[in-house]
Amino acid sequence: MDKKKNPLKRPRVDQAPVLSQSVPRPLSNGPGAMHARPLVALLDGRDCSVEMPILKDVATVAFCDAQSTQEIHEKVLNEAVGALMWHTITLTKEDLEKFKTLKIIVRIGSGIDNVDYKAAGELGIAVCNVPGYGVEEVADSTMCHILNLYRRTFWLANMVREGKKFQGPEQVREAAHGCARIRGDTLGIVGLGRVGTAVALRAKAFGFTVIFYDPYKPDGEDKSLGLTRMYTLQELLFQSDCVSLHCTLNEHNHHLINDYTIKQMRPGAFLVNTARGGLVDETALGAALKEGRIRAAALDVHENEPFNAMSGSSSTGPLKDAPNLICTPHAAWYSDASCSELREMAATEIRRAIVGRIPDSLRNCVNKEYFPQSGGPGGPPPTYEPPTGLNGMSPATPPAVASAGPPSGVAPNLLLIQAAVAQAQQAAGSTTPNNCM
């Protein structure tokens, strides 16, 4: 008996369109057919499987997979309302000015040093980050690095892998030279934020005496955590057997660890950086490792990424041939759980922008103070009317916001789009699927 031929498979509607190809717009019936749905683009990645379920009922989601700003698709530059981005590319003021309709950028991560957020604010573009994700993972990874430096597990494991045999205590002593006892040593934490605090609590359990330097923390926080506060960086460096960096990167602390500050550290101290690569002058660090002024260092972040441990940014990189150095590929934040959590939080922030008000409805807008109050390159901060939900209002928006109309003088670019989408959905009697563009 002949089997029936399978009908042609319909394309999946929940798969993000690739902008490097010619992809048709979604079709809609009714008065809204002339207007596209808001376009949200993942600039430097391909996988949108986590973001799709959160955004597909309010926006069209696509990806560019750009490795540089020159590879951002023209359609995104002309039509994207929202952008999601990792840390692969950097958006300067000149790059931001190329976007015609962009209203929000969400960094999938906590750092914002690869976005000119001041210029974005002046252009009326909100920049958001996700500061609360992966705290446990980064703190755990930091402790792994600290333990590796103290117990030299990384180097001992490599010796065994390379076939070295340890036949007596003399050979063990020679191979493990530099191993140190943790209990009683002083760990100095620079930046007592979420991760810095988590590291401090873990380090105390291992027997460290924990001190910290953070000029932005109010008095008394050291008492509540059982830590000792240092009021200058120099004092912390002088008293620490191991220094761990947990501060954001800005114009004031670039190359915080340099030749001058390394000389203020205890001879033979350890250094760990899981925060931002620009905090450490890698040329000064390489010299200090070769001279033995720093006993060992562990870096998860680097000035130039992706980082090649063998050569740095070139064949004569500053960390080339530096001894007692552990490098990992900016992965301290990662676990399957933290990655999903991070992407969900980033997509949810984009959703707040589409169905709510910018910047009022955003949870982690970092450049609100740079928004023009009136006029200016980006115009006033836009206010958007949420699309109609099943019960007459957006389920993610409070009734007061859902019923509020836009104030006078607000550019109606997304208002027209959202009104058209809602009108088309009402006429069709169902929600428009998130087809490819």
Question: pLDDT value at position 37?
Answer: 86
Mean pLDDT over 399-403 rounds to 33
Active site residue 276: yes
**What are the tokens at 215?**
């000029």
Architecture of domain 135-327: 3-Layer(aba) Sandwich (3.40)
Question: pLDDT value at position 36?
Answer: 60
Catalytic residue among 37, 295, 330, 351: 330
Q: At 14, is the pLDDT very low, low, confident or very high (cuts 50, 70, 90)?
A: very low
Which residue in 197, 157, 204 sits closest to 176, CA to CA? Answer: 157
Catalytic residue among 94, 97, 174, 305: 305
Which residue in 171, 201, 183 sits closest to 147, CA to CA? Answer: 183
Question: pLDDT value at position 168?
Answer: 86
What are the tens digits of pLDDT across the range 238-273? Answer: 999 999 999 999 889 999 999 999 999 999 999 999
153-161 contacts: CB < 8 A, separation 24 or more? 154/326, 155/324
CB count within 10 Å of CB 5 equals: 6
| Kind plus residue range of the DSSP H or E element containing 245 | strand 242-245
Which residue in 118, 45, 36 sits closest to 83, CA to CA? Answer: 45
Domain boundaries, given as residue ranges, for the chain: 31-132+336-428, 135-327
The pairing of beta strand 186-190 with beta strand 242-245: parallel
Question: pLDDT value at position 170?
Answer: 87
Please state the length of the chain.
437
The answer to whether 93 and 116 have CB atoms below 8 angstroms apart is: yes
Q: At 130, is the pLDDT very low, low, confident or very high (cuts 50, 70, 90)?
A: very high
Which residue in 174, 133, 134, 168 sits closest to 152, CA to CA? Answer: 174
Distance between CA atoms of 420 and 359, rounded to whole angstroms? Answer: 23
Comparing 31-132+336-428 with 135-327, is the CATH topology the same?
yes
Distance between CA atoms of 108 and 129, rounded to whole angstroms? Answer: 6
The DSSP string of 287-349 is: HHHHHTSEEEEEES--SSSS--TTTTTSTT-TTTT-SSEEE--S-TT--HHHHHHHHHHHHHH
Report the predicted TM-score, pTM, of the whole model to 2 decimal places.
0.74
CATH dotted code for 31-132+336-428: 3.40.50.720
What are the tens digits of pLDDT across the range 280-334? Answer: 999 999 999 999 999 999 999 999 887 765 544 445 689 989 999 999 999 999 9
The phi-psi region of residue 183 (left if phi > 0; otherwise alpha if psi is between -120 and 50; otherwise beta) is beta
- Provide the 3-class DSSP secondary structure of residue 40: strand
Q: Is the peptide bond before 359 cis (omega within 30 degrees of 0)?
A: yes
Beta bridge partners of 61: 40
For the chain, give the percent of residues with pLDDT over 90.
Answer: 66
What are the tens digits of pLDDT across the range 97-122? Answer: 999 999 999 999 998 989 999 999 99
Catalytic residue among 73, 107, 276, 357: 276
